[in-house]
Amino acid sequence: MSITIQLDLPEDVAAKARAKGLLDPVHLSQLITRELADGEDRRDFFQMARDIRSVPGESMTRDEIQKIVDDVRAERATREADH
């Protein structure tokens, strides 16, 4: 099946996209196919970032995040050692 798509892009964006091959029909087809394959459950990255930023309270520090990661890894190692 063939579909014609017209994009309105600023000249500089169009030039960069063309130079990277992003406007090539094969590449566009691959991008669309990949997006469809991800399924409906996939949340848009930018929406996820907005959701995270909207959580009330202070942001976690890197040290707090690292402690959680370390705890999860230790728990997984313990669980795997028990099997």
pLDDT tens profile 29-52: 888 888 787 665 566 778 877 888
Average model confidence (pLDDT) across the chain? 86
CA distance 80 to 83: 5
Residues 56 and 82 in one domain: yes
One-letter amino acid identity for 42? R
Collect all residues with Cβ–Cβ distance below 8 Å to 17 and sequence separation of at least 6.
9, 23
Residue 64's pLDDT is 92
Task: Give the count of domains, the chain.
Answer: 2
Q: If we measure between CA atoms, which residue out of 35, 58, 40, 55 comes closest to residue 27?
A: 35
Residues 49 and 27 in one domain: no
Instruction: List the structure tokens of 12.
Output: 């500089």
**Longest alpha-carbon distance in the chain:** 60
Residues 55 and 73 in one domain: yes
- The reply to whether the predicted model has a pTM over 0.75 is no
Residues 70 and 36 in one domain: no
